[in-house]
Amino acid sequence: MATVIETVMARNDDRGRARVFSGHESFAVRYGWLPKLYEAVIRDPELFRDDEHAILSLGLGKNMVRSVRFWGEAFGVTATEGRIVRPTEFGRRLLDPDLGADPYLEDADSLWRLHWQITAHGGLGAWTAAFLSVTDVEVSRQRLLELIVASASAGRSGINPGTAAAHLDILLKTYDAATDRGAPVLEDTLGSPFQELDLLRTVNPGGIPTMRLNRGRKRGIGGPTLAFALADHWRFAAPGSKALTMRSIMLDKVSPGSVFRLDEVTMHELLEDVCIRSRTLTLRNDGVGGLELVCSRGSGPDELEKVAW
């Protein structure tokens, strides 16, 4: 029987909207999974034609195989067309053994790009709640659960509290190293590489389970990383425009400032670095007390792509 990724989905495909609440088989993405998946589908685009074949090819158990496939698509590394699973253009640029920027995901820069992809485009309810809906530095676990349930209901597809809690646990296992402390270390079940980003931590002020989102400068985010996210954001927020405002870059729901949790000083420094690397991008006053990123020639997103890669 062919492998099927089962997901609870709301009927909403808009950017930044929650529509996926399961399918990870209770496994967070692990070290080595995405490069292993990329190489496997390059060799065999029909890798997932049945469970047994995928299990033998990947050397993982049945549920892990389904989880690997889920994460490949959630992070935008692979895409499915019928029975065929192929790398996306993003997947090739990042993970190709011959031409990719980081085939073994050794650089924090690459992890931030993947974080952008899954948060902006993956549609995972917990990611949308934590990184796009919450603006405070801290948010209680209960509030996050409420946001996840509400996002499913808004999409006309309800989920039960147990599914919401399991989905939130996967978010925490992905980003918070504390969730793996004391767990047995087994081959193929090592922690998630995204814990290296130190993007969030779980704390318990007053005995209340709370998630703390770290805002400010981030290790691994340089000009090229920001340019990657900005190119995507510009195409959506200001298509055809020669300028993108700092307000949009920092405060739009699906923006680099929101997804990466950057402060304005750090963003300004990174934008200056982007401009130094480009011949046509400059920062200037917008005439009303703010700043904007301006492209003097050609397409802003296209120029940012050159800086990004």
41-49: long-range contacts at Cβ-Cβ below 8 A with a sequence spacing of 24 or more?
A: 41/72, 41/78, 41/85, 41/86, 41/87, 42/87, 42/96, 45/84, 45/85, 45/86, 46/83, 46/84, 46/85, 47/85, 48/2, 48/3, 48/83, 48/85, 49/2, 49/3, 49/83
Decide: residue 226, CB within 10 A, 0-12 exposed, 13-18 middle, 19+ buried: buried
Alpha-carbon distance of 215 to 237, in angstroms, equals: 23
Q: What is the bridge-based pairing of β-strands 210-213 and 200-203? A: antiparallel
Give me 226's structure tokens: 């920001």
Domains, the chain, ordered by start: 33-201 (no CATH), 223-308 (1.10.10)
pTM: 0.92
Give me 93's structure tokens: 């640029």
**What is the pLDDT confidence band of residue 40, given thresholds at 50, 70 and 90?**
very high
Alpha-carbon distance of 8 to 21, in angstroms, equals: 5
Given this model, what pLDDT does residue 89 score? 98
Given this model, what pLDDT does residue 179 score? 63
Q: What is the pLDDT of residues 206-220, one digit of tens each?
A: 999 999 999 999 999
In the block, tokens 């659960």 appear at 145
281 and 275 Cβ atoms separated by less than 8 Å? yes
Q: What is the pLDDT of residues 174-190, one digit of tens each?
A: 999 886 554 444 444 46
Can you say how many angstroms the Cα of residue 159 is from the centroid of all Cα atoms in its chain?
Answer: 22
Given this model, what pLDDT does residue 229 score? 98
Given this model, what pLDDT does residue 13 score? 41
Q: What is the pLDDT of residues 44-87, one digit of tens each?
A: 999 999 999 999 999 999 999 999 999 999 999 999 998 999 99
Given this model, what pLDDT does residue 252 score? 97
Percent helix, percent strand, percent coil in the chain, to nearest 5 = 50, 10, 40
Instruction: Of 111, 104, 116, 129, give the one whose Cα is nearest residue 20.
Output: 129
Alpha-carbon distance of 309 to 100, in angstroms, equals: 10
Share above pLDDT 90 across residues of the chain, in percent, rounded to a whole number:
83
Alpha-carbon distance of 168 to 170, in angstroms, equals: 5
Given this model, what pLDDT does residue 2 score? 36
**What is the pLDDT confidence band of residue 90, given thresholds at 50, 70 and 90?**
very high
Instruction: Of 128, 118, 163, give the one whose Cα is nearest residue 8.
Output: 163
